[in-house]
């Protein structure tokens, strides 16, 4: 008889624990091939097409577009062909459904003949690496007629009602559970406003506001009130209806890329004792050298690529800044390779693609890779691997028309170099006042990995290379 297998949101790698459903690529009743992408999800790092390891008929989908699901939550169920028609009615309703191989079966495993209808792949580019099966044309199944799965006929899928509604049992996001836990709310007492009673973040926030409204008016804090009590009172005031429920206030969910950026920046400021030093540099000779390089023919070299090459040379002299801190072991871990991240603003928010092995690349190679990653970021095609594993970050905020900044370190790295705009300014050159192309450079560093002397030495070397590009030639 037919087997109905459940496909759960797989581990997307790189420590990601949840993903948002952006777009379903199949509908209930569609016939899917093994390793055919069935849903597009957005993680904290990229948009990813998730392929299904089973071939058969889609009998249920779990989660509407815009819903955030934790890793391990059901995505869909697939009726895999067998020797007899399968009864799909009981199989397509519960997110807790397990495959016939048991509750602990891997996504690509199943019992009986279903093993021939499954793949070891989880995501394209991940898993077993086995070639994907040839895709079959997706077609909708008739509700009245059976659907052919391979050479076997199974009845059309039916989604049974649950508690009077059609669809799966609600799955609560880990972020929603944490918000409820931090505010002392029991989710079992809340009524979800999402589809099929799904409890949304807005439901929890509304319950928090109602709790504040019903609370007794706060009394003035007595003299000698502890700092923790004061902080708690202050936090309550921020959650009060006068602030969070103001007429016309707009709520923007912190999820996807924006949520990941918020978490990482907050963690950086919480964990890293950072310090910043900066210096102005005369970039006139650097700009002239780049113009001469591009005039000589061959691939054009971007200014960011030249700055990246300077960074790798500076890190070779000051490897302390190409490191991370392992507080559990109380060790500074100095890293042998330079995987250079660079901040890029996109329509989806701030992303930091990573140039692998930047220390081994020429200016031309750096320019080409920076261009490729920038274009991928703008088109939303960056993979999780493109944005992880960085050891040092270069931030060119000068493109926004600003002179300076105090960068926040891209946790768990140890430093970030910021570059402002290059503009004509009065400058003392060879003992005389002149108009020169001036740039401000700023370095934010983790004070645990080095002291100011090392950070200052790094920044001074960068400035020297900007002012006199020949200095860089001596390091090659």
pLDDT digits (tens, 9 = 90+) for 147-166: 333 333 333 333 333 333 33
More confident of the two residues 282 and 208? 282
Q: What is the pLDDT of residue 14?
A: 58
The rounded mean pLDDT for the chain is 76
Has 447 been annotated as catalytic? yes
Q: Residue 330 above 90 pLDDT? A: yes
Please state, as a whole number, how many other Cβ atoms lie within 10 Å of the Cβ of residue 315: 25
Q: Residue 258 above 50 pLDDT? A: yes
Indicate the DSSP class of residue 123. S
Q: What is the pLDDT of residue 402?
A: 94
| Lowest mean pLDDT, pick from 171-175, 271-275, 293-297, 411-415 | 171-175
Q: What is the pLDDT of residue 475?
A: 62
Give the pLDDT confidence of 11-27 residue by residue, as tens digits: 876 566 788 888 899 99
Mean pLDDT of 102-110: 37
Using CA atoms, how far apart are residues 260 and 391, in angstroms rounded to an integer? 18
DSSP E strand stretches across 240-343: 274-282, 323-326, 331-334, 340-342
Closest CA to 176 of 159, 193, 196: 193
pTM higher than 0.95 for the full model?
no
Q: What is the pLDDT of residue 180?
A: 80
Q: What is the pLDDT of residue 68?
A: 86
Give the pLDDT confidence of 336-366 residue by residue, as tens digits: 999 999 988 877 777 899 999 999 999 999 9
More confident of the two residues 3 and 432? 432
Using CA atoms, how far apart are residues 36 and 139, in angstroms rounded to an integer? 13
Q: What is the pLDDT of residue 154?
A: 33
Mean pLDDT of 30-37: 91
**CB of 281 within 8 A of CB of 232?**
no
Q: Residue 188 above 90 pLDDT? A: no
Using CA atoms, how far apart are residues 78 and 3, in angstroms rounded to an integer? 8
Give the pLDDT confidence of 83-101 residue by residue, as tens digits: 333 444 433 333 333 333 3
Give the pLDDT confidence of 55-81 residue by residue, as tens digits: 999 999 998 888 888 888 999 999 997
Give the pLDDT confidence of 446-459 residue by residue, as tens digits: 999 999 999 999 99
Mean pLDDT of 122-133: 42
Provide the residue count of the chain.
476
**CB of 369 within 8 A of CB of 355?**
yes
């Amino acid at each position: 008889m037919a087997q109905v297998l459940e496909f759960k949101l797989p581990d997307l790698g790189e420590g990601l624990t949840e993903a948002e459903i952006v777009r379903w690529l199949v509908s209930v009743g569609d016939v899917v091939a093994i390793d055919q992408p069935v849903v597009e999800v957005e993680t904290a790092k990229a948009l990813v097409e998730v392929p299904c390891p089973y071939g058969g008929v889609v009998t249920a989908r779990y989660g509407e577009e815009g819903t955030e699901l934790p890793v391990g939550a059901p995505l869909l169920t697939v009726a895999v062909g067998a020797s007899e028609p399968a009864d799909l009615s009981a199989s397509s309703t519960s997110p807790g459904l397990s495959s016939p191989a048991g509750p602990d079966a891997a996504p690509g495993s199943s019992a009986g003949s279903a093993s021939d209808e499954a793949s070891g792949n989880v995501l394209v580019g991940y898993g077993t690496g086995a070639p994907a099966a040839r895709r079959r044309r997706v077609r909708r199944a008739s509700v009245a007629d059976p659907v052919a799965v391979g050479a076997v006929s199974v009845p059309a899928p039916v989604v049974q009602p649950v508690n009077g509604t059609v669809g799966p049992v609600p799955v609560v996001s880990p972020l929603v559970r944490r918000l409820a836990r931090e505010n002392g709310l029991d989710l079992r007492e809340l009524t979800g406003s999402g589809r099929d009673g799904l409890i949304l973040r807005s439901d929890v926030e509304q319950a928090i506001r109602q709790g504040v409204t019903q609370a007794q008016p706060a009394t003035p804090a007595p003299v000698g009130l502890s700092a923790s009590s004061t902080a708690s009172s202050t936090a309550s005031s921020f959650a009060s209806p006068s602030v969070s429920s103001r007429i016309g206030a707009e709520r923007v969910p912190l999820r996807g890329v924006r949520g990941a950026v918020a978490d990482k920046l907050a963690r950086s400021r919480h964990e890293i004792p950072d310090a910043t030093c900066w210096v102005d540099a005369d970039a006139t000779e650097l700009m002239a050298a780049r113009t001469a390089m591009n005039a000589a023919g061959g691939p054009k070299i971007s200014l960011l690529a030249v700055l990246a090459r300077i960074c790798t040379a500076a890190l070779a002299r000051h490897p302390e800044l190409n490191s991370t801190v392992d507080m559990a072991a109380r060790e500074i871990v100095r890293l042998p390779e330079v995987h250079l991240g660079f901040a890029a603003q996109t329509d989806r928010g701030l992303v930091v693609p990573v140039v692998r092995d930047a220390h081994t690349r020429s200016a031309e190679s750096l320019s080409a890779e920076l261009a490729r990653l920038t274009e991928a970021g703008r088109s939303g095609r960056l993979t999780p691997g493109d944005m992880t594993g960085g050891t040092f970050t270069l931030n060119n905020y000068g493109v926004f028309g600003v002179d300076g900044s105090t960068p926040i370190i891209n946790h768990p790295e140890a430093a970030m170099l910021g570059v402002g705009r290059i503009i004509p300014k009065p400058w003392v050159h060879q003992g005389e006042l002149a108009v020169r192309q001036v740039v401000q450079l700023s370095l934010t560093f983790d004070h645990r990995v080095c002291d100011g002397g090392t950070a200052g030495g790094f920044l001074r070397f960068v400035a020297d290379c900007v002012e006199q590009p020949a200095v860089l030639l001596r390091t090659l």
